[in-house]
Amino acid sequence: MTDKVSDTGHVSDTGNVIDVVGLKTAFGENVVHDGLDLTVRRGEILGLVGGSGAGKSVLLNTILGLREAQSGQIRVLDAPASLDGVDRRQALQKRVGVLFQGGALFSALNVLDNVGAPLREHTHLDHGLIDRLAALKIALAGLPPHAGALMPAALSGGMRKRASLARALAMDPELLFLDEPTAGLDPIGADAFDQLILTLRATLGLTVVMITHDLDSLYAITDRVAVIADRRIVATAPATELEGSTHPWIREYFLGPRSRARLSGHDASRLSKGPA
């Protein structure tokens, strides 16, 4: 799926934000990915879908360097494909933001301190400036000023997602990973979060990789959707093009009962896309 692969099967410098070639991951005897290829283009919003246990979060964690692959090549931004997981994670920690599934906020810290945590860890800025920058990111994520003083336990589901997003944006990343960002939100909250991601992509020039089961989000804001099945990426295309796939899982996902109910309920293009 990469734009350019060398004769040896290694990642070449394609200019893409992410290039993965021949990835194999496993937990003991359980092989999760086998020969997986993936390309993410600069400035796009890429949706990542697959059945339960297909390895979506494992792929995200492997790309980030949070777990080791058994084999394969990964290039993220301009970090060399030869870097192992630890070195890649260190090279990217100031350039990549992650909204983990469930938010993963520190329960003992208020929202302002949660958002400021990456700045305290990776910069030498004084505490006053960190607090001001954290407040700016809280506002950027669409939260009111008083939210900074709230503890995570006092946040609604939508506010928790936005607080986690604000923390993911703390270091002004070039690349943003979102793991099930609209899970648990009502339709209005999910729509608002989708619109926020489009706005951030347009204003900050972000590249976004989004793991999601939300068909509305896939149709509304993604440029392409990558499908994990059979231990690899079996298709990458805009959601509307995937409707014509002959792969059984893709057909069931995009043309099954839930998808038909979605299409009959409202227009799939409920949001205007931002620039690529």
Half-sphere exposure of 48 (CA within 13 A, CB side): 24
Q: Show the domains of the chain with their CATH numbers.
A: 43-69+80-95+173-269 (3.40.50.300), 102-172 (no CATH)
Q: Which candidate, 59, 71, 46, 76, places its Cα nearest to that of 229?
A: 59
pLDDT in tens, 129-178: 999 999 999 999 999 989 999 999 999 988 999 999 999 999 999 999 99
Please tell me the predicted confidence (pLDDT) of residue 8.
38
Residue 5 DSSP label:
B
- Identify whether the C-beta of residue 82 lies closer than 8 Å to the C-beta of residue 74: no
pLDDT tens by residue, the chain, 276 residues: 333 433 434 444 557 999 999 999 999 999 999 999 999 999 999 999 999 889 999 999 999 888 889 999 999 987 766 667 677 777 777 899 999 877 788 999 999 999 999 999 888 999 999 999 999 999 999 999 899 999 999 999 889 999 999 999 999 999 999 999 998 888 898 999 999 999 999 999 999 999 998 999 999 999 999 999 999 999 999 999 999 999 999 999 988 766 655 555 554 444 444 443
CB 211 within 8 A of CB 57: yes
Residue 92's contacts (CB-CB under 8 Å, 6 or more residues apart) are: 64, 65, 76, 77, 79, 175
CA 257 remoteness from chain centre:
26
What lies within 8 Å, CB to CB, of 105 at 6+ separation is 111, 114, 152, 160, 163, 164, 167
Q: What would the pLDDT profile of 224-246 be if each residue is shown by its tens digit?
A: 999 999 999 999 999 999 999 99
